[in-house]
Amino acid sequence: MAMAALRREGKRFALTSPNPINVLRSSLAPSEERMSLGVRGISTQIVRNRMKSVKNIQKITKAMKMVAASKLRAIQVRAENSRGLWQPFTALLGDTPSVDVKKNVIVTISSDKGLCGGINSTSVKISRAMRRLTSGPDKESTYVILGEKAKAQLIRDSRNFIELSITELQKNFLNYTQVSVLADEILKNVEYDALRVVFNKFQSVVSFLPTTATILSPEVVEREAEAGGKLGDLDAYEIEGGETKSEILQNLAEFQFSCVMFNAVLENACSEQGARMSAMDSSSRNAGEMLDRLTLTYNRTRQASITTELIEIISGASALEG
Amino acid sequence: MFRQATARLLSRSAAASPKARPFSTDLESAPAADQAFVDAWKKVAPNMDPPKTPLSFMKPRPPTPSSIPSKLIVNFSLPYASELSGKEVDMVIVPATTGQMGILPGHVPTIAELKPGLMTVHEGNDVQKYFVSSGFALVHANSFADIIAVEAVPVDRIDPTLVQKGLAEFTQKLNSASTELEKAEAQIGLDVHSALSSALSG
């Protein structure tokens, strides 16, 4: 990345600046290049060019930070409002991440754009570990990927296990209708016993917790209810409406999936903006430090060239005098 | 001042060590299932922290009381807002697919699918009316009622002229529909609008 290259260049200057003799030698190096063109004296052009580009980068990253901060403000309100949506389902059906099923589908949510810190890599790492966790002799798990960044990472080694990938989710304003249509598509095209949604939950501007929410298919819900345990008292619930219990459970599972997806997508978008804010903040701070070091080098180079000129003049004058 | 700060730091570090996050609520029932997940995770990925699960972000619900409580606690949530959360009311009437269903404290645990219709929340003499599109109503044994709907508006914000226009439009669409899909869509529109008009009048 460009920032890494610049950081390396800055380190080179930082290493050469502490020792004054080395400064002259290093500043003579650019002048050697210029000597061949017939220009006398040590040139500060190179350092000045570097300073200009670092300053531009600092401006750009500061602007990106401001943009991310304003987007975060807008979306944080919506994410917090949507948090009440999945709680009733968890209150009813409990949370069973350790459920043992044959077909697992891991829905990984990531961002489309980069420069947002490590959240996408975290999601991908967790997804891969979930896949290892849920694979076994007669169990299998596949991926459904939302977002460009996770797709780029997962396609390298798990290309055969990706069922669906969806990108450009945030092109239009995120709303429940869009997410429910998406959830519908996923449910239509993918066979599943358990859906595990992996996303980054937004806890605060500097903290994003990787989270996984589990949604069971209606058959598995019935099986677990009969087996007892967390869902054991599901049978105590009377079913109103519909002909059969399985029909209601089917609708409930689909509704739960779309609600959980909506919250997950919003939380991930919040985490993306927050991570981008902190990444851009640290990079503009880095650029500022690099600029300070370059300024010191520039001043030293400039003073060295002035000193050299003075020495030449004075030695020339003293040679004339005799 | 420094003594207070160090005392606070010590207490925070002592409190933080048993729990993962200092401000997490205590989880009485959660660790059981999570523990199996955490163990399985440690076998597969020992160097990574296991991801959090939704149960750790939720306030735990109180257990079923032995006697019927006097008030019903209602959570009414929509995708964009939580209209009512933890509100104590006397009665809620929801439009289930089998008709209007009243929920009182001590109601038997129920899972009810909702159809578009009028929902009323009674608290003392105060009645709030909402028109809900479909959703689910879950009543738990501890007199908690969760109502999740896709869209809900207070009835006084519905425009009657638009409702009449919609009724006419969808009746006409139903008559001119050719494919099954169009017929189903027109029927749904007609159902919603007739529910709207009856909500406005009733």
| Shared-domain flag, residues B97 and B123 | yes
The shortest C-alpha distance from B53 to chain A (Å) reads: 5
Average pLDDT score over chain B: 79
Which of B36, B48, B146 is closest, CB to CB, to A88?
A: B146
Rounded CA separation A64/A113 (Å):
12
Q: What is the pLDDT of residue A181?
A: 92
Q: What is the pLDDT of residue A48?
A: 93
Q: Is A104 on the interface with B (CB under 8 A)?
A: no
Q: Do B44 and A236 touch (CB under 8 A)?
A: no
If you measure CA to CA, which chain B residue comes closest to A197?
B53
A223 Cβ partners below 8 Å, 6+ apart?
none
Most A CBs within 10 A among B136, B146, B150, hence the mutation to make, goes to B136
Q: What is the pLDDT of residue A18?
A: 47
Q: What is the pLDDT of residue A12?
A: 55
What share of chain A in percent tops pLDDT 70?
Answer: 84
Q: Do B135 and A255 touch (CB under 8 A)?
A: yes
Give pLDDT tens digits for B48-65.
888 888 888 888 888 877
- Which of the four pLDDT bands, split at 50, 70 and 90, describes residue B3? low
| Shared-domain flag, residues B122 and B48 | no
Distances in Å between the alpha carbon of A178 and those of A54, A138, A184, A275, A282? 41, 35, 10, 25, 34
CA-based nearest residue to A193, from A222, A217, A164, A226? A217
Q: What is the pLDDT of residue A306?
A: 92
A residues 113..142 contacting B (CB < 8 A): 125-126, 129-130, 132-133
Range of the domain at B176: 158-201
Could you tell me the CATH number of the domain that includes residue B106? Answer: 2.60.15.10
**Rg of chain A's alpha carbons, rounded to an integer?**
30
State the span(s) of chain A assigned CATH 3.40.1380.10: 80-280
In-domain check, residue B63: no
Q: Is A174 on the interface with B (CB under 8 A)?
A: no
Q: Do B48 and A126 touch (CB under 8 A)?
A: yes
- Which of the four pLDDT bands, split at 50, 70 and 90, describes residue A11? low
- C-beta separation of B132 from B119 below 8 A: yes
| Shared-domain flag, residues B144 and B162 | no
Rounded CA separation A34/A233 (Å):
84
In-domain check, residue B66: no
In-domain check, residue B186: yes
| Shared-domain flag, residues B13 and B26 | yes
- B163 token code pair: 């409702």
Give pLDDT tens digits for B100-151.
888 888 888 888 888 888 889 988 888 888 899 888 898 888 888 889 998 8
Q: Do A241 and B138 touch (CB under 8 A)?
A: no
H/E stretch holding A214: strand A207-216
Most B CBs within 10 A among A75, A83, A90, A98, hence the mutation to make, goes to A98
In-domain check, residue B64: no
ipTM of the predicted structure?
0.78
- How many domains does chain B divide into? 3
Lowest mean pLDDT among A112-121, A278-287, B15-24: B15-24
| Shared-domain flag, residues B165 and B123 | no
Residues of B with Cβ-Cβ distance to A95 under 8 angstroms: 30, 33-34, 53-55
Which of A94, A129, A248 is closest, CB to CB, to B41?
A: A129
- C-beta separation of A76 from A271 below 8 A: no
The shortest C-alpha distance from B99 to chain A (Å) reads: 9
Q: Do A209 and B51 touch (CB under 8 A)?
A: yes
The shortest C-alpha distance from B63 to chain A (Å) reads: 12
Q: Is the pLDDT of residue A9 over 70?
A: no
0.90 exceeded by pTM: no
Segment B165-174 mean pLDDT: 88
Q: Do B41 and A92 touch (CB under 8 A)?
A: no
Q: 3-state SS of chain B: helix, strand, coil percent to 5?
A: 35, 30, 35
What share of chain B in percent tops pLDDT 90?
Answer: 1
The shortest C-alpha distance from A115 to chain B (Å) reads: 23
Q: Is the pLDDT of residue B29 over 60?
A: no
In-domain check, residue B67: no
Q: What is the pLDDT of residue A198?
A: 93
What DSSP string runs through A91-108? HHH---TT---SEEEEEE
Q: What is the pLDDT of residue A238?
A: 79
CATH of domain A80-280: 3.40.1380.10
Distances in Å between the alpha carbon of B101 and those of A86, B91, B94? 23, 10, 5
Q: Is A77 on the interface with B (CB under 8 A)?
A: no
- A151 token code pair: 């797709």
Q: What is the pLDDT of residue A314?
A: 95
| Shared-domain flag, residues B192 and B127 | no
Q: Is the pLDDT of residue B7 over 80?
A: no
In-domain check, residue B62: no
Give pLDDT tens digits for A183-218.
999 999 988 889 999 999 999 999 999 999 999 888
The shortest C-alpha distance from B186 to chain A (Å) reads: 19
Give pLDDT tens digits for A125-135.
999 998 888 88
Give pLDDT tens digits for A24-81.
444 444 444 444 444 455 788 989 999 999 999 999 999 999 999 999 999 999 998 8
Q: Is the pLDDT of residue A16 over 50?
A: no
